Structure 1
Amino acid sequence: MSVESSDPTEISTVVVTAEDLTSALETNRTSGQHAVLRITPPFSGRMRARLHVELDEEYEQEPEPIHVEPRTLVADSLPPYPRPAETEDELRADPDREYTVERHHEYHASVVERWRQRVPDAVKSTATIETAAGPTDIEVSVLGRNTS
């Protein structure tokens, strides 16, 4: 039986969808917004973290939600998010393809899609998250992980 608590150190497992994690990582690389994975109290052993774009918000209830940096949950082996300038250079360097703006858009979109597909497999099995009570070690469970 899971007991709910105001103590964030009660959390042993954080569950996140592959889609929320990927969107948070991508948002932080492509926009002026800052996305996190938010864990909303009350806390228990197994908690869901959901995509949340941070705003200048003040919480009136205690305890406050935990905001997990999405990069905390993925291994360093995940390559950086593809930048348009990089994919343009790759396309221009390919002697078998002529560069066009349309071809660059298509190529960039395909590279980004391959990056997105790699995110779930780069998730760490354990991570340390920052809470109001200090760092807490958790297991990470991903919903929608690639199984192929």
Structure 2
Amino acid sequence: MPGSADPTAINAIAVDAEDVVTALEAGRRSGQDPVLRVTPPFSGRMRARIHRDGATDYEDEPAPIHVEPDAFVTESAPAYPTPAETEDALRTDPTVEYTRERHRERHAEAVANWREAVTDHFADTVTLDTPSEPHEVSVSVLG
């Protein structure tokens, strides 16, 4: 059965947990604007895949739908750890001496902990910006 040009035909989006976490991290670390893209034709269940944002003027209609990675996590999701926060925590720890190597190791550990923790905060639904109206769909997280 062929899909539809109408994105409101979508009932649910499946997304890989790693794609969401990677997109969130890339947006915070590098200032890039990755999105999760849903590509037409549209049907009841669709897959959203990580995509580097930038191309928003698509020649073909219907255009793919871009969903910000933050839409896939709840407001209670932990904040991404910054190097400055890691340094502050390390410098105020009286049990260790600050070194650049220890800072690097602690920050890598903080990021790994964040990557694991953020997966406990996936949203059950997201709202898609469609040409006609906002459209809420359920989310299935894979992996």
Within a 5 Å distance, the mapping from 1:2-81 to structure 2 comes to 4-56=3-55, 58-81=57-80
For structure 2, which runs of at least 5 residues remain unmatched after alignment?
A: none
Distance 2:119 2:140 in 1: 10
Whether the 8 Å contact between 1:130 and 1:136 is mirrored in structure 2 is yes
Structure 1 residue 3: deviation in Å? 5.5
1:93-108 alignment runs, 5 A limit: 93-108=92-107
Q: For residue 67 of structure 2, what is the amino acid of its counterpart?
A: V
For 1:111-122, what aligned pairs fall within 5 Å after superposition? 111-122=110-121
Structure 1: gaps of 5 or more residues: none
Kept in 2, the 8 Å contact 1:125–1:140? The answer is yes
Q: Give the deviation of 1:56 after TM superposition.
A: 4.2
Runs of 4+ in structure 1 over 3 Å off: none
What are the equivalent positions in structure 2 for 1:80-99 lying under 5 Å apart? 80-99=79-98
Instruction: Provide the rounded CA distance (Å) in 2 between the counterparts of 1:128 and 1:55.
Output: 20
- Number of residue pairs aligned between Structure 1 and Structure 2: 143
- Kept in 2, the 8 Å contact 1:82–1:112? The answer is yes
> Does the 8 Å contact 2:12/2:140 carry over to 1?
yes
Question: Aligned-pair RMSD on alpha carbons?
Answer: 1.3
Alpha-carbon offset, residue 127 of structure 1: 2.1
Assess if the C-alpha contact under 8 Å between 1:8 and 1:133 holds in 2.
no
What is the identity percentage for the equivalent residue pairs of Structure 1 and Structure 2?
A: 55
> Partner amino acid for 2:13?
V
SS at match of 1:36: strand
C-alpha offsets along residues 47-97 of structure 1, whole Å, 9 cap, x if unaligned? 000000012453111000000011011001111111000000011111111
1:82-113 CA distance string (max 9 Å, x none): 10000000111111111110000000000000
Q: Bigger CA drift: 50-59 or 131-140?
A: 50-59
| Structure-1 separation of matches of 2:65 and 2:36 | 8
Q: 1:26: how far off? A: 0.8
